[in-house]
Amino acid sequence: MKYRSGYKVVKTLRKYVNGKPTNITKANVSGQDDYIEKYLSDECPVNPLPAGISETIVNPAQEASLFTTTNQANTNSYTLSFSQYINGWTSFHSWKPESMISSNGEFYSFKDGHLYKHHANETLRNTFYGQQYNSEIEFVANDSPSDIKMYRTIKTEGNSKNWDITIESETETGFVDKSSFKKKEGMYYGYVRNNNTEVDYKKLSVQGLGLCASSTTTTVTINNLNVGLMSVGDKLYKAVMSAGTGYTSGDTIGTPALLGTITSISGNVITHNGSTAAAAGNFILFAKNQTAESEGIRGYHAKIKLTNNSTSPVELFAVDSEVTKSNL
């Protein structure tokens, strides 16, 4: 691309693309690489756009350009918006026209030989060429980048809670389902749930119960069982003591093995849905649902993506996250 002037007194440079003027201008400043000392005519050569990219200049009142490009890495196509108000790229669009044109303040595009008028149906948003698309917003939270943090909640400021959210750090992934958002003081709050189903034995959601007194393929008996936080639906595990069976001072336990999901608790007997018996003297422990009991996701940074499938107008002003420093 090259800047060219549209005036005899060269005070302002206007960007031309393929020999056509755009709405993008800048001051003609002495000492800069594109400084022009005299009038530059339309016959001067212009650098072409990169291969695979075409541009349509939209109504000047909209102060935007639309580009259609192809991702060379995975051949996915996108339509991009460029705003002159902020002098930057503002959006990726999933809809891919064959051609675009602006006429009399309206924006039109062509697809499969048909002409479409945009912004024509205010009651059915996000629908292009008969196909409905989602609205997606993605950003990175990276405050205190040298600290490992816990991303615990997501708060949205807007007029809708109809946002499904995924959140990803360099080590973990999580989500906030739109049905879990609660409205508080005009804002919507949701707890981040961790996708990791692997049991973290360092967490308080995993607790020991004692030594197995006897067992069948579906039951475990522990003398003087203290139920504590254990409940139906928790996972039941067994682990071999380093001294074999029983417990001695300084003894340690081996890697826990899953027995099954707890279906009932009666006295000292725990019933589960598994098919493996524990040996007498094995150490028995339980783990809460790791997703339900999760405290969020842990990492240096978080990539947060919001998805909304509404066809009605939706406003979103801000997104916040409750973040604390990790104690691990």
**Residue boundaries of the structural domains of the chain:** 2-133, 136-196+295-325, 206-287
Confidence at 164, pLDDT banded by 50, 70, 90: very high
Percent of the chain scoring above 70 in pLDDT? 80
Note the pTM of the prediction, 2 decimals. 0.61
Distances (CA, A) of 231 to 99, 191, 205, 225: 61, 22, 12, 13
**Mean per-residue pLDDT, 240-244:** 73
β-pairing verdict for 64-70 and 54-57: antiparallel
**Mean per-residue pLDDT, 19-31:** 76
Percent of the chain scoring above 90 in pLDDT? 40
**Mean per-residue pLDDT, 118-124:** 80
> String of b and e for 15-30 (b: at least 16 CB within 10 Å)?
bbbeeeebbbeeebee
- Structure token pair of residue 289: 């649902």
Of 92, 155, 109, 121, give the one whose Cα is nearest residue 312: 121
Half-sphere exposure of 13 (CA within 13 A, CB side): 19
- Structure token pair of residue 54: 């075409």
Distances (CA, A) of 164 to 78, 102, 154, 176: 22, 34, 11, 6
Q: Is residue 133's pLDDT more than 70?
A: yes
Strand order of the β-sheet with 164-168 is 135-141, 302-308, 164-168, 173-176, 193-194
Q: Is residue 203's pLDDT more than 50?
A: yes
Q: Any idea what DSSP says for residue 133?
A: -
Confidence at 236, pLDDT banded by 50, 70, 90: very high
- Structure token pair of residue 57: 């200049």
* Residue with token string 């959601």: 205
Q: Is residue 15's pLDDT more than 80?
A: no
Segments in 121-254 forming alpha helices (H): none
What pLDDT, on a 0 to 100 scale, did the predictor assign at position 27? 80
Q: Find the Cα–Cα–Cα–Cα dihedral 100, 102, 103, 104, rounded to 10°.
A: 150
Q: Is residue 71's pLDDT more than 60?
A: no
Backbone angles phi, psi at 181, to 5 degrees: -70, 135
Confidence at 4, pLDDT banded by 50, 70, 90: very low
**Mean per-residue pLDDT, 14-31:** 75
| Higher local confidence (pLDDT), 143 or 73 | 143
- The radius of gyration computed from the CA coordinates of the chain, to the nearest angstrom, equals 31
